Structure 1
Amino acid sequence: MDVEQMQVYCLAKPGAWPDNPWEHEHPVIKVGPGERGKIFAFLGGGGVGVKSGRTREVADEWIARFPDDASVMPYIGRSGWNDLAFGGAIPDDELLEAVDESYRMVVEGLPKKLRPEDWDQA
């Protein structure tokens, strides 16, 4: 798995779109319309940042399982966000499942009228 493959995977989700609010090398991936869109994946050259749980305790399960390849995201980690590394101990299918779960949690947090059609089929 690399950042380009992860970006393609993320953008295939209903209502997903890239944004670069901080002008980094890689975009964040949002879901929801325009200004109301919410980030579900932070893409980076070495990994992906995802919402890993509704609480820090749930998100910490990733760090316990993969101490060398999962870490708490700066600034927003207290809200259950983790950085997960590409090319390490975390299998690619688990990285994709982590993105799926992040997408699901973020979409569920959107008002129903802003949720993309068929989001729960993704």
Structure 2
Amino acid sequence: MNAEELLAYCLAKPGAWQDEPWEGDVVAKVADKIFAFLGSGTSIGLKCGATRLEADEWLLQYPDDARVMAYIGRSGWNTLDVGGGIPDERILEAVDDSYAMVVAKLPKSRRPS
């Protein structure tokens, strides 16, 4: 899977849109909340668990291709390498889960229909 395919997958989610809050760093948002950091195209930052403990499962399963995301990792965010040891299907499942967790925290009035 390449960066364009991954971005397209993210943007196909209901209510998803692309933003560039920092020069050169592409993110996918729903409402005004980020659910995927797509920056370089070789990795993706996702909410991988409701807690750090849940997100650590990724680090245990893929020690060479998953790491705690800088600054927001304590909240369950990980960086997952694309095109490495994590199968594409698992990356896409992680995108789905990140999107679902972010949408669930939105007020009902701001959730996509």
How high is the TM-score relative to the length of structure 2? 0.97
- Show the counterpart of 2:3: 3
- Show the counterpart of 1:108: 104
Task: In structure 1, give the amino acid aligned to 2:84.
Answer: G
CA contact 1:41–1:99 (8 Å) conserved in 2: yes
- Show the counterpart of 1:120: none
CA contact 1:40–1:51 (8 Å) conserved in 2: yes
Cα deviation, 1:2-22, whole Å, max 9, x if unaligned, reads 211100000000000001010
User: Secondary structure of the equivalent of 1:19?
Assistant: strand
CA contact 1:56–1:78 (8 Å) conserved in 2: yes
- Show the counterpart of 2:53: 57
Runs (4+) of structure 1 moved beyond 2 Å?
A: none
Task: In structure 1, give the amino acid aligned to 2:83.
Answer: G
Unaligned runs of 5+ in 1: 118-122
- Show the counterpart of 1:89: 85
Structure-2 separation of matches of 1:6 and 1:93: 11
Task: Looking at secondary structure, tell me which structure has more strand per residue.
Answer: 2
Unaligned runs of 5+ in 2: none
CA contact 1:56–1:77 (8 Å) conserved in 2: yes
Please provide the CA RMSD for this pair.
Answer: 0.7
Q: Percent identity?
A: 62
CA contact 1:16–1:30 (8 Å) conserved in 2: yes
Cα deviation, 1:5-60, whole Å, max 9, x if unaligned, reads 10000000000000101011x4100001xxxx100000032111000001000000
